Amino acid sequence: MQKIYLDNAATTQVRENVIVKMQDALANFYGNPSSTHSYGRSARTAIESARKTIAKELNAQASEIIFTSGGTEADNMILRCAVRDLGVKTIITTKIEHHAVLHTVEDLAKEGGIDLHYVDLDVYGNPKIDHLEKLLKQDDSKKLVSLMHVNNEIGNMIDIDAFCNLSKENGALFHSDTVQSIGHYKWDVQKTSADFLTAAAHKFHGPKGIGFAFIRKNSGMGCMISGGSQERGYRAGTEAFHNIVGLEEAFVAAYEHLDAEIEYVSDLKKYFIEGIEREIPDAKFNGLSGDLDKSTYTLTNLCLPVSKEKALMLLFHLDIKGIACSKGSACQSGSDAGSHVLSEILSEEDLKKPSLRFSFSVYNTKEELDYTINTLKEFVAG
């Protein structure tokens, strides 16, 4: 049986050089980075080197990069501390954000800390900038806008500069969950004036359990986790040194090979779309995931023309065939909840059909995509 991994938006294969770097760190740099002896100083030097490496690529200051356990913690830290420390009374977001944002702002609203508003979406799932402007101007409360750059389910990309600039013009802070885009796109935080960004290493062939928050200098935010002065006082606790150097190695590799890997993975996505359109012409691409210019090159989300009853067996069938991907609606598992993203943009009829997210990396091949397309074609026709 073939084993084909097409769930790279969930997590990616770790690069070999990253594994080697982390093994060396675990074996030879075991000192506590907060210790003053040579073992600790060696670890501290490597952590600060990683921080500078990331900052230089993003055109940020090293002090603006805060290591976290990943994107979820980074989003939580930023949103909660903005309310607690920065006087934010209103948060504006969308109903198709990652749950790390969506559930956090819902909790903040339930706790009585904020007013919560959602930007209207167009039929493809893009936030309407004119509605955001209306929400920004509705009162004088201190506001934070949180809009993800690349949607993790349907791949839509917002014009982040336009939304960020509008927010800043109206005195609002701007946060973006950039977990699906840092490591896949160039960033310059001097040109994109967002106050806060987030990243996770395992989305760009690094280890799980490590990421970072970009927090613009002089933000005024206090600590999320108390107990020590690590991470500029934002996050107490002994740093996961081996994960940090693994993050740095993956980050450097991502940007060293960025242009070539964008070209390669974009070609895979185009090949997959053309194959689906040819072999399963009644299939639909959700959101803008079938548009090579308006969605990320790393994923597509496909709605298949099969009944709700048959859909229950789809993921099982793909797993038996050795294909790993992610479901995008309730039908595959029998869950009544389904995808919160697709529920906002699909018709009732299409919500009854199975939707799958296929996400690609440099470790995939066209031969794997041929096998996947044929497997889907056989399932639909069977």
Q: Which of 81, 223, 325, 331 is catalytic?
A: 331
Would you tell me how many other CB atoms lie within 10 Å of the CB of residue 169? 10
Query: What does the H/E/C string look like for the chain?
Result: CCCEECECCCCCCCCHHHHHHHHHHHHHCCCCCCCCCHHHHHHHHHHHHHHHHHHHHHCCCHHHEEEECCHHHHHHHHHHHHHHHCCCCEEEECCCCCHHHHHHHHHHHHCCCCEEEECCECCCCCECHHHHHHHHCCCCCCEEEECCCECCCCCEECCHHHHHHHHHHCCCEEEEECCCCECCECCCCCCCCCCEEEEEHHHHCCCCCCEEEEECCCCCCCCCECCCCCHHHCECCCCCHHHHHHHHHHHHHHHHCHHHHHHHHHHHHHHHHHHHHHHCCCCEECCCCCCCCCECCCEEEEECCCCHHHHCCHHHHHHHCCEECEECCHHHCCCCCCCCCHHHHCCHHHHCCCEEEEECCCCCCHHHHHHHHHHHHHHHHC
Would you tell me how many other CB atoms lie within 10 Å of the CB of residue 20? 12
Are the beta carbons of 306 and 288 closer than 8 angstroms?
Answer: no
C-alpha span between 310 and 164 (Å, rounded) = 43
Paired with 240 in beta bridges are none
Are the beta carbons of 234 and 223 closer than 8 angstroms?
Answer: yes
The yes-or-no answer on residue 331 being catalytic is: yes
Q: Which of 95, 235, 89, 198 is nearest to 153 (CA)?
A: 95
- Just list the catalytic residues: 331
